[in-house]
Amino acid sequence: MKIILNNSILRKTLGPFNDIGFVPTMGGIHEGHISLIEKSIKSNKKTLVSIFVNPKQFNDIKDFKSYPSNIKNDLTILKKIKKLDFIYIPKFKDIYEDKKKHK
């Protein structure tokens, strides 16, 4: 399992593959996530799980700041899943980067 921390590494890593399952999460990995990940592993050659708490999904910044996040715990759980290929943990700028750069 490879942990990817930015877009450039993500592009380089995933470039050769065309059958990738993607399970986006906001962390707090639980049985529902695990079920989706296991289905993706069975259905695709590679599986990518993301952990990104998106501040734009919150109406109130207080809710975003108080959202529970435990990346260590999430990684511990994900590392136990056999055949999970990639974990993507982007920063805000990776998700909302300037789109002009890639035209």
Bridge partners of 48?
22, 86
Contact 2, 86 (CB under 8 A): yes
Looking at 23, 25, 27, 33, which residue is catalytic?
A: 33
Contact 47, 41 (CB under 8 A): yes
Can you give the C-alpha Rg of the chain in angstroms? 14
Residue 33 falls in the annotated catalytic set: yes
List residues with catalytic annotation. 33
